[in-house]
Amino acid sequence: MARFLLTRRSPLPPAECWRRLTDWPRHGERVPFTRVRVVPGGGDVRDARDVHGLPGDLVVARTRLGPLRFDDPMEIVELTAPAPGQDGHCRLAKRGRAVRGGAELRVRAVDGGGSEASWAEELRIAGLPALFDPVVAGVGRVVFGRLLDHLLDAPAQGASAE
């Protein structure tokens, strides 16, 4: 299984860092040829604007390149927003046929202000021998590192970029 860990410091307060990190549709902005949506689990009917989801929901990343396409459904297993004295934590379990594994995202307050976000991922791509795990991990570090930087550097919702 390919594994990687990314960590970023941010001047953002933990709640804002968390909001950006769990805005799943925005993840598609930096993952090539991919759109991301949240599908409510358990038949719940909720506001379609709820981009953060709840435990049991699926975050579905659909990658499409011409006629080739596949879904990477990830179930939100745990989702706890940061609070005073408590880290934010999200655990995703990959439930698709093409990509298996999971991810854990954490946001913690940093002494002196700001926050630290970490993203740990384990991936197994169907049909790809374990011999390629280092390559998959390297590509994952680059793609998800760019994504993490984008999510944390983007202007706050409703703010202007000057």
Examine residue 39 and state whether it is found in any structural domain, yes or no: yes
Q: Kindly state whether residue 159 falls inside one of the protein's structural domains.
A: no
Domain count, the chain: 1
The encoded tokens of residue 114 equal 């700001």
Mean pLDDT within 74-103 = 95
Domain at 146, CATH number: 3.30.530.20
Q: Could you count the other beta carbons within 10 Å of the beta carbon of residue 123?
A: 21
- Which residues pair with residue 64 across a beta bridge? 69
pLDDT score for 82: 96
pLDDT attached to residue 53: 87
143 located within any domain: yes
Residue 118 falls within a domain, yes or no?
yes
pLDDT tens digits, one per residue of 150-162: 999 955 444 333 3
Instruction: Specify if 160 maps to a domain.
Output: no
pLDDT at 62 over 80: yes
> Residues 23, 52: contact at Cβ < 8 Å?
yes
Question: What is the arithmetic mean of pLDDT over 81-99?
Answer: 94
pLDDT of 73-86, one tens digit each? 999 999 999 999 99
Report yes or no on 161 lying in a domain. Answer: no
State the pLDDT confidence band at 50, using cuts at 50, 70 and 90.
Answer: low
Residues 6+ apart with CB under 8 A from 116: 7, 8, 9, 10, 107, 108, 110
Separation of alpha carbons 102 and 158, rounded Å: 32
Residue 158: inside a domain: no
17 located within any domain:
yes
pLDDT of 43 above 50: yes
Residue 129 has pLDDT above 50, yes or no: yes
Domain that holds residue 89: 2-153
